Amino acid sequence: MGTIKEEGELEEALTCGVCHELYCDPHLLPCGHSFCLLCVRPGAGVEAWLGAGQGGCKCPDCGEEYSATTPLHKNYRLANIALEYRRRGLPGGRLLVPVPCDCCPVIRSAMPAVKTCLRCEVSLCALHLQPHLDCPAFHTHLLVEPLDDLSKRRCHEHGEMFRYYCTNENVYVCADCILEGKHTGHQVKSLRKMEKDLKTILQGHLQKAEEKLRHSQKVLMEQKNVDGSIMDAWSVDSGLERLGASLVAQVELMVGDLCEEAQVEKQQAKDRLRVEQSRVIRDLRMTQDIHKYLRSLLEQRDPFLIIWAFQSEDKKISAELNTAVFQPEPSTLDRKRVLENIDRKYRQFLSETLKCLNELKRDFSGSVLTLDADMVHPVLCVSGDLLKQPLTII
């Protein structure tokens, strides 16, 4: 067991900076800080730092502003840790000291309890727990992690332990509440039955989470394969460099431009892929956190906590699991545009080459032309006025 200092540091890390209580439904702000959803929702009584009336909100930790309409995502990882911290007591309970055994004779020397029996309503150390493990008469007793306070598990009116749950009013009830007829005509179930029903629903959620997890991992793997294919598909740089080495300065300029455009196209494709991968990874992590959260609930043997957690989380978990896995469009290079750029640059090169050739021709035509009868082209025609001759295509 950790020291009091370590547990104090853990409790501080699990405490909301607004309400100063253990996190309840923690959500992430765009800046990365987490708070209880009720603490950061506009209209929660903290308008001073929310910037109410200005159409924006502000993080109470770092002061970063964000829109009031910005969707906030649940921090399932932090919720899992907070839930695990609560497993030894009631929601929001402070557990900086071990729960003492109720059966040890001297309170000051009582051993730390390892389990609490909800039937006997006592916390037991390892020694006094042994009869519950060995004697068949105790096999039906429900043992949970040590609880330091059972008052919130008792009916405030009758003082009896809650052993039933009314699904019509969504409240815990004791046996006396039922006998007095307060829930006549309502569907009342035992906590064991509620645990069984809720775990059936949670099992379905877990199956959906596993399917979504596999799908997300598959999509992520496909995206990584696309990333590799993009890097392997574009291999014209070396050919362009060899071309530039064998041509004149104008060709080298053309090659440089083409290489730059090719790099820009690759970078744009990679940027698109990076954005899509980040979203796939975000959805994957969200599903992993939900998966872990559901497993922790299914391993929980305390029906009180299972019902409490199910009531607060089921709608959000269902919404997350029913959201389709983000399936990005395949990221590929725009080869058509690259080829068009190559064609355009090549035409520019030809135009500049022809321009240079025409300039060379003009320079050459400025000199006196002397023809040798043995060397002149056989189809050369000389106009009658020695100035012009119609072009004839041979």
The reply to whether 30 and 71 lie within a common domain is yes
Q: What is the CATH number of the domain that holds 89?
A: 3.30.40.10
Q: Average the pLDDT over each of 188-197, 235-244, 265-274, 333-342 and give the range with the smallest value.
A: 235-244
Q: What percent of the chain has pLDDT over 90?
A: 11
In a domain, 229, yes or no: yes
Report whether 140 contacts 162 (CB < 8 A).
no
In a domain, 227, yes or no: yes
In a domain, 385, yes or no: no
Bridge partners, residue 173, by sequence: 164
The reply to whether 60 and 161 lie within a common domain is no
Count of structural domains within the chain = 3
The reply to whether 1 and 88 lie within a common domain is yes
The reply to whether 330 and 239 lie within a common domain is yes
In a domain, 307, yes or no: yes
Structural domain span for residue 81: 1-97
Q: With 50 as the cut, is the pLDDT of residue 236 above it?
A: no
Burial label for 293, CB within 10 Å (0-12, 13-18, 19+), is buried
pTM recorded for the entire structure: 0.45
The reply to whether 89 and 171 lie within a common domain is no
Q: What is the CATH number of the domain that holds 168?
A: 3.30.160
Which of 32-36, 68-72, 348-352, 364-368 tops mean pLDDT?
32-36
Which of 66-70, 209-213, 243-247, 325-329 tops mean pLDDT?
209-213
The reply to whether 281 and 337 lie within a common domain is yes
In a domain, 2, yes or no: yes
Q: What is the CA radius of gyration of the chain?
A: 39
The reply to whether 175 and 232 lie within a common domain is no
Residue 269 pLDDT grade (very low, low, confident, very high; cuts 50, 70, 90)? confident
In a domain, 352, yes or no: no
Residue 374 pLDDT grade (very low, low, confident, very high; cuts 50, 70, 90)? low
CA–CA separation, 76 vs 286, rounded Å?
7
The reply to whether 217 and 337 lie within a common domain is yes
For position 338, what pLDDT does the model report? Answer: 72
In a domain, 356, yes or no: no
CA–CA separation, 279 vs 281, rounded Å?
5
Which tokens hold the place of 329? 């469009």
Q: Average the pLDDT over each of 149-163, 217-231, 282-296 and give the range with the smallest value.
A: 217-231
Q: With 80 as the cut, is the pLDDT of residue 87 above it?
A: no
In a domain, 157, yes or no: yes
Average pLDDT over residues 273-298: 86
For position 83, what pLDDT does the model report? Answer: 77
